[in-house]
A = this chain, B = another copy of it.
Amino acid sequence: MKYGVIGTGAIGGYYGAKLARAGKDVHFLLHSDYEFVKENGLYVDSVDGSFHLTDVHAYGDVREMPPCDVVLVCLKSVRNQLLKELLPPLLKQPSPKGGNGTLVVLIQNGIGLEADVQQMFPDVQLAAGLAFICSAKTEPGRVNHQCYGYINIGNYSCRQQALIDSVVADFREAGVDANEVEYHEARWKKAVWNMPFNGMTVALDTQTDLLLKHPATLQLIREQMLEVIEAAQACGVKYIDESFADKMIDNTLHMTPYSPSMKLDFDYHRPMEIDYLYTRPIEEARKAGFRMAKLEMLEAELRFLQEEKNRL
């Protein structure tokens, strides 16, 4: 199986490098780090053991890449419009002799991503990749992996179960804990953590640990989590128990104080993923008759901060 990685950063760099180190045939699309990685390879500083991948199939232009069986999309979702140009060269058509079409796995945060990419490419096979990982790209070609690392795969429109199974098996061979999960439930469950912590660390210019240290914000985070759980139910996802919120809070209490990706984006004056992390789930819940009042407020604060304070 040939793997393509679009967006070789904190996520794509980590998972791609793990697969390549395990001998998988991985092809990386790079942008600003292309020259560095072409010459020096990829460095992964990891709590699970650091390594240096010297022999990297690095590309600066997607048109030079081979068609792939699996494409891992690890772009920031604010750049998903680029997929119109970036995906086609990597796609294999299913052949009448039984060859599979490409499976595109969106390892991105938010709600509604697969629906929008499916609109761009009606026939492509899609899955969600839910990455549970604390990692950051600290320098060109260097990923720092602080904790966790497992990935869940949710089938959105893949017609070959065998393809999903192979991806899960390849991740496991590469030392990444991977599991198949139900798509809708998985996306919303991830949002239970993402929606409170990404935005609140930006809104209050802080980290996960301080939000949980103060009783007022601890309670607020929990109430925002419950809003996501209620929204999920309104949108037809199978029942998520309230105790899931407490589990997420408990997990976070045991994490190293953490700046989620949106906080890093804001601090480095990059656009924040407000659309798929907030606007879209808020809209879908509202259409289904549920108002996420506190997360609506957070969305408005983030819009303000993005426009008013995030200019270089």
Contacts and interface: CB of A to CB of B under 8 A. Distances in A.
A293 B223 CA distance: 10
23 contacts: A203-B301, A204-B301, A204-B305, A204-B308, A210-B304, A210-B308, A214-B303, A214-B308, A215-B303, A216-B299, A216-B300, A216-B303, A217-B300, A217-B301, A217-B303, A217-B304, A220-B296, A220-B297, A293-B293, A293-B297, A294-B294, A297-B297, A297-B298
Given A205-B309, A206-B308, A223-B296, 19 more contacts: A203-B301, A204-B301, A204-B305, A204-B308, A206-B304, A210-B304, A214-B303, A214-B304, A214-B307, A216-B300, A216-B303, A216-B304, A217-B301, A217-B303, A220-B300, A220-B301, A293-B297, A297-B297, A297-B298
Contacts of A299: 216
A210 B305 CA distance: 11
Contacts of A219: 300
A216 B305 CA distance: 10
Instruction: Give the number of times this chain occurs in the complex, counting copies.
Output: 2
A215 to B, nearest CB: 8
A309 B203 CA distance: 13
A211 interface: yes
Contacts of A304: 204, 206, 210-211, 214, 216-217
Nearest to A295: B297
A211 to B, nearest CB: 7
